[in-house]
Structures are given as structure tokens and as C-alpha cells.
Chain A
Amino acid sequence: MSEASKQVVQKPVDFRGGGFAPQSKTWVGFLVFVLLIGFIEFGTRVGFITSLTLPKPSDVFATFVDLWKSGLLWKHLIPSISRLIIGAAMGASIGIGVGVLIGLFSLVRAGLVPLVAAIFPIPKIALLPLFVIWFGIDEPSKYALIAFGTFTPTVVATYGAVDNVDRSLIRMGQSFSLSWFSIVTKIVLPGAMPGILSGLRISLAIAIILLVAAEMLGAEYGIGAYILEAGSLYDLERLFVGVTILSILGVSVSAVIGMFENKFLDWRT
């Protein structure tokens, strides 16, 4: 017995649990950026990336600083951001409203779901000329384009989220004789919130894409106009400044939504 037990090989049981549980490791994403930019900087300096392939990151940064100092940065950024906010706010709020109605009323659902499905795949940029005719060349046509583009994904995400609200909670509300209005505002809407917010992430990214498209097709100031101008001159430094600003805009929007999620959805397990 004692001899046998001496020969038994002891080893800890292999761990195979981990993973599949997203954790916040912001610095990794940051590190990827730093490494990538560092690599390009190195490559352009040493010469195995030619200046025609990619601009030097430090030059891009210098161009950015110039843009900032000249005051042109804000001249481009402010109209863009206000277009984005106004357009996306219109599209998202109407989208959430319609989505909730679709989720709550079968008649609205029967009437609107096919319509939404029909307009979802239309590339909204193709409709810009139409919006220009309807709303004029100025701001309203840009708002309309962004709003329309944010609207469809928001609707789909919202009614999906409303459909996914736990029916047993609604039944609970009914069993305590809560009013219809209370069930909607206190059970359905908070329950749909996670789905609506994750839908907004997608909708707002689409809004930024459409913002640039609208500005490229006719605007004096705006990130889109800036990029278009740089592109037509093959000024790669300025092109990359514009693109970087867009990326930062996207990251900021996503960070804002992340903040909302942390604040309002801390009840999730």
C-alpha cells in the first residue's frame, strides 16, 4: 500500500476554466495603438515604408498641431460635431420611439416592420441628392441624412430589445395590478435598456460614417470637407489628420455609451 502510494504521480488538476468573461483591460488597446504607430514611425524613418505609402506619424502630428494653432481645427470640428449630435439625436430618439411602439403594439408591428426591413438595406448616402432637393443644400439635408441613417438600426435594436424583456416580469406587473403605463415605464423600458444601448453603439458609428459622406458631398467646413480637400491634393499628412480625428470621435462616442452602461446598467450580473 505505502509502496504503491509512493509511486502515484501527483500533479495539480489542469485549469481549463478561464476566458469568455470580458474584463476591462484598457491599456492593451492603448498598447496596440502605440506599437502600431511606433512601428510605422520606425518604418518611415528607416525607409522600408516609403513616404508615398504612409506619412510619418510625427509629421501627421505636426500637421495636427498646426491645424489646432491656426484655429481651423475648431472651425472644422464644431460644425461636424453639431451635425452629428443633432442628426443622431433626431434619428436615435425617433428610432427608439418607433421601436418601442413596434414592440408594444401588434398593429404597429405589422405595419412598420416590413417598411423598416425595406429601407434598412438602402445605402442612405444614395439618398443625399433627394434630401438636398427636399431640405436644401444647407444643414437640414445633412441632419436628415444622419438622422435617417441612425433611425433604422435603432428601430431594429429597440424592438428586438423590447421583445426580449422577460415576460415573467411583465406578468408579475400584471399580477400586482400595475397600470399599463407603469408596466411600460418601470418594467419594459428599463428591461430593454441594455439592448437599446448596444444598438446605439452601432447606430452612432453609422452616423459618423454618414456625417463624413454628407460633408464630402457639399460643405465648406467639417471633417469630411477637410478630408476631401486633403485627398484631392494627395496631402497624406492632412488626410491622416482627418482620419485620426474621426477615429477619436468614434472612440469618444463609444466611451460615452460605455459610461452610460456603467452608470445605468450596473444591475446586470
Chain B
Amino acid sequence: MDLRLEDIGHHYGDMEIMQGINLEIPAGKIICIVGPSGCGKSTLLRLIGGLERPTVGQVVQLGEPPEDSINPLTYVFQDFALLPWRTVEGNISLVLEDHGIRGSKADEIISDVLARTKLTDFRKALPKQLSGGMKQRVAISRALAVKPAVMLMDEPLSALDSQTRELLMDDLIGLWTREPFTAVYVTHNLNEAVRLGHSIVVLSRRPGRIREIVDVKIPLADRELGDPELERQQKHLWNLMRDEAMAADKELINV
């Protein structure tokens, strides 16, 4: 299943958040979205997943999601959004119960996704017993449990320290390499973008428009830390964003 954004524009009240966004999200690819703070990245993600309606334009789904997909458009949130009163296992079964998956079938899925995110030993733990990195892995395994056609990730690693972030990036690359998934990955970290993105969409400051789409040709698994080609791309992205970021920063002061 692919997604296509057709001429998306959005307002909150009088404030224009974005305009004229046209974008293809092909199956099996990770699209990173970067842009200055407040340019509407999170909003765009909510529009893509149907949590909000765009003021103009539409998000079109091309083709049917795979048969076994339980929740085709699935989010991974920056703040994890785990229910603190449910165990790791309970947080995952929460999203299965409503789709009629219980008992041994749910157990099987839960064991599988916990193994894939290396959380098997923490099955019975409560969120308060987990570190930030582990919480985000729980959130990722919860997303994997519903077999999404497209994962919508809003700065999933930005609440974590840089070492944990590196580890989780490796985990994500490992997950993708074993079984390619489609994702829209919002981040303000350009290094994450060049490590994880097949293509990187650079948005301008508010009202957000697409400034440029940068393709990174190196296969995900071969992107080493400190690869000169990636550094060059990251620098290019930074050059694109610097002026926007500075202008956006000034605007906030002038509000």
C-alpha cells in the first residue's frame, strides 16, 4: 500500500501551518521529514494518519493494505504513550484486544514482537520500571504487533540520550533489513534522517512547504557512523535548513 499526499494545506484558525504539500510515500521505504521547529511536521503526521482532517487537499491510499495488517496506519509517539497501569505485555495486548485477538494468538504476537525488540525478559514489567529507551522499544513493539502498512513516527528517539538513540537506530535498521516496513519518520535530528531515510523531505518554515527532497542511495544496512557520503548529505541538509531555522527562530521571538 502506498500513500499519496495531494496538495495538502492546513490552517489553525487564521494561522496557516502548511500549504501545497505533494508527496508520495512508497511501500517499503522510510521517508524522513525534517524542518525547523513549528513548521508543521507533527501536524502533517496527524493528517497522514487520519487523526486530523486537512483544511485543503487529501491523503490518498493507493491499493489495499496487506490482508494481515490489523491497524494499517500506526503511530509511534515521541512521549511513548504507554499506559502506566498496564505491563509491557498488557500495553501490547491493549491494541490487539479491540481487533478480536486474544488468548494464545495474542500471546504468539506479543512474544514475537518482544523478541524482535529484545524485550522478552521485560514482559511483565510496568512502564515505571523501564528506562526511556526500553519504553520506546515497547512502543515500537506495540506498533509492530498490529502489523502496520505504514508506521508514522514523530521524533521517536528525541526523548532519549544519544547513546540509546544510536542503539535504537541500529535496532530500527535491523528491523527494516529483516522485514522492510514503510515509515514516515519526523525528526529534527539530521543525523537520524541520513541514517534512516531512503528519502528526506525538507520543509520550509511555517507555512511549511516542501523545499527539497533528498534521496540517499546507500542501502540502510551499509550506512556506517561517520560515512563521508552521509556527512556530505547531512551538511547539505543543514545548509538547506540553516536559513529557515534562523528565520523561524526570529519569528518566534517576534510573536
| A interface residues (Cβ-Cβ under 8 A, vs B) | 168-169, 171-172, 174-179, 182, 186-187, 190-191, 193, 265-269
A212 to chain B, nearest CB (A): 37
Which residues of B sit under 8 angstroms from A190, Cβ to Cβ? 83, 85
B69 to chain A, nearest CB (A): 11
Which residues of A sit under 8 angstroms from B49, Cβ to Cβ? 175
B146 at interface, CB cutoff 8 A = yes
B92 to chain A, nearest CB (A): 10
Interface 9-mer from B2-10, B70-78, B205-213: B70-78
Q: A177 and B98: CB pair below 8 A?
A: yes
A175-B49, A176-B98 in contact; A169/B83 too (CB < 8 A)?
yes
Fill in one digit per residue for B79-107: 1 if any A CB lies within 8 Å of its CB, else 0. Answer: 10101111000000011011100000000
A178-B95, A179-B98, A186-B94 in contact; A269/B128 too (CB < 8 A)?
yes
B214 at interface, CB cutoff 8 A = no
Q: A177 and B71: CB pair below 8 A?
A: yes
A42 to chain B, nearest CB (A): 48
Which residues of A sit under 8 angstroms from B126, Cβ to Cβ? 266-267
Which chain A residue shows the least CB distance to B152? A175
B51 at interface, CB cutoff 8 A = yes
Instruction: Report the contact-size class of chain B (Cβ under 8 Å from the partner).
Output: 20 to 34
* Distance, CA A265 to CA B85, complexed state (A): 8
* Distance, CA A266 to CA B84, complexed state (A): 10
* Distance, CA A24 to CA B217, complexed state (A): 60
A176-B146, A177-B98 in contact; A267/B74 too (CB < 8 A)?
no
* Distance, CA A267 to CA B126, complexed state (A): 7
A176-B146, A178-B98 in contact; A169/B51 too (CB < 8 A)?
no
Q: A172 and B71: CB pair below 8 A?
A: no
A112 to chain B, nearest CB (A): 28
A171-B51, A176-B98 in contact; A269/B84 too (CB < 8 A)?
yes
* Distance, CA A105 to CA B250, complexed state (A): 41
Q: A182 and B81: CB pair below 8 A?
A: no
Which chain B residue shows the least CB distance to A264? B85
- In the complex, besides A171-B81, A190-B85, A269-B128, 7 extra interface pairs with C-beta distance below 8 angstroms are A169-B83, A171-B51, A175-B51, A176-B71, A190-B83, A265-B85, A266-B126
Q: B83 and A176: CB pair below 8 A?
A: no
B60 to chain A, nearest CB (A): 19
Which residues of A sit under 8 angstroms from B127, Cβ to Cβ? 267
A174-B51, A175-B51 in contact; A187/B83 too (CB < 8 A)?
yes
Which chain B residue shows the least CB distance to A266? B126
Of the listed residues A176, A178, A191, the one surrounded by the most CB atoms of chain B closer than 10 A to its CB is A176
A176-B95, A177-B98, A178-B98 in contact; A168/B74 too (CB < 8 A)?
no
* Distance, CA A268 to CA B83, complexed state (A): 11
Which residues of A sit under 8 angstroms from B77, Cβ to Cβ? 168, 172
* Distance, CA A267 to CA B81, complexed state (A): 15
A267-B126, A269-B128 in contact; A172/B98 too (CB < 8 A)?
no
Which chain B residue shows the least CB distance to A175? B75
Which residues of B sit under 8 angstroms from A269, Cβ to Cβ? 84, 128
A176 to chain B, nearest CB (A): 4
Which residues of A sit under 8 angstroms from B99, Cβ to Cβ? 177
Which residues of B sit under 8 angstroms from A187, Cβ to Cβ? 83
Q: A168 and B94: CB pair below 8 A?
A: no
A–B complex contacts, Cβ < 8 Å, 22 sampled:
A168-B77, A168-B81, A172-B75, A175-B49, A175-B51, A176-B74, A176-B94, A176-B146, A177-B71, A177-B98, A178-B98, A186-B83, A186-B94, A191-B83, A191-B85, A193-B85, A265-B85, A267-B85, A267-B86, A267-B128, A268-B84, A269-B128
